[in-house]
Amino acid sequence: MRRPGQAGAEQRARADFTGGVYGSLLAASVILGAGSLGDFPRAELIALLLLTGTVFWLAHVHAKLFGERLADRALNRREALGVCREEWPILRAVLPPVLAIALSPLLRLDMRGTIWLALCVAVVGQVGWSVRGARQAGASTRLVIVTASINLLLGLLIIAVKLFVKH
């Protein structure tokens, strides 16, 4: 039997897309770093994004399982898989920029254009994850706009770094 308020708490937990926002920021940062190195083969950039996303996903899974849960109780397989699913948006958010990089030759983009496309896709993903999470959590329209604006600003800051900081 559910306790009062439990359904709302479960809905908010399912609406937590923090990992998606984080994964999009991670992807944008990796793209920014790799793009500042000059020409970077697409396959290497894809591998770098996927490997970095996987490492951060695993780090978050580890932190939740061993940092939060084991202090109070023993770990079981069901709970471990649940945490893997909870943290999946971190890795999932890396996939659209990876796809943009993989498809960039079809758009006849050079590496510079590919970097810009992937960076923009990551920023759009970051805003999208924040809007999706806010809506599923039942946030007001005003709060959805605020979170979208803040995430857009963070993405634009990453783009500003790309424009103004040269190695």
Distance (Å, whole) CA 83 – CA 61: 6
Distance (Å, whole) CA 36 – CA 23: 20
pLDDT in tens, 98-151: 999 999 999 999 988 999 999 999 999 999 999 998 998 899 999 999 999 999
CA 146-91-67 angle, to 5 degrees, is 90
What is the token pair recorded at 78? 């069901």
Position with higher pLDDT, 39 vs 83: 83
What is the token pair recorded at 35? 């793009």
Rounded to two decimals, what is the model's pTM? 0.80
pLDDT at position 68 is 65
Closest CA to 118 of 61, 165, 164, 53: 53
pLDDT in tens, 1-34: 445 444 554 544 454 678 888 888 888 888 887 7
What is the residue whose two structure tokens read 């306790």?
A: 3
Burial class (CB in 10 A: 0-12, 13-18, 19+), 7: exposed
What is the residue whose two structure tokens read 């920014």?
A: 32
